[in-house]
Amino acid sequence: MEKRIGTITILIKGKISVPAVNALLSEYSSIILARQGLPLHDRNINVISLVIEGTIETISALTGKIGRLKDVEVKSILTKYKEEQKNEQERTEQSIH
């Protein structure tokens, strides 16, 4: 399976879904390279931007779960950059050499 690098932008209206979004981001923390949050208190919204690296399936699973939450919008952009995932044996052999 190949890994892709991309970004995810999340817009949360109100505060009801904030704990659920944070729980999902913790669950998928292995694919998150960077996270930036911006609370816009005067508009009652929160914006979270993520830089991610993972398989298309994993990224889609995360964005799908986030997108089903109440008052939450999510958009993702994946780059064309692809990296083949190496299995554990290949990683061990490379680290030895």
Domain boundaries defined on the chain: 2-96
Helices and strands, counts by H and E, the chain: 3, 4
Distance, CA of 24 to CA of 48 (rounded, Å): 13
Fold (CATH) for 2-96: Alpha-Beta Plaits (3.30.70)
Q: What pLDDT, in 10s, does the model give residues 34-52?
A: 999 999 999 999 999 999 9
- Whole-model pTM? 0.83
Note down pLDDT in tens along the chain; length 97 residues. 799 999 999 999 999 999 999 999 999 999 999 999 999 999 999 999 999 999 999 999 999 999 999 999 999 999 998 877 666 556 555 556 5
Residue 37's pLDDT is 97
Distance, CA of 80 to CA of 84 (rounded, Å): 13
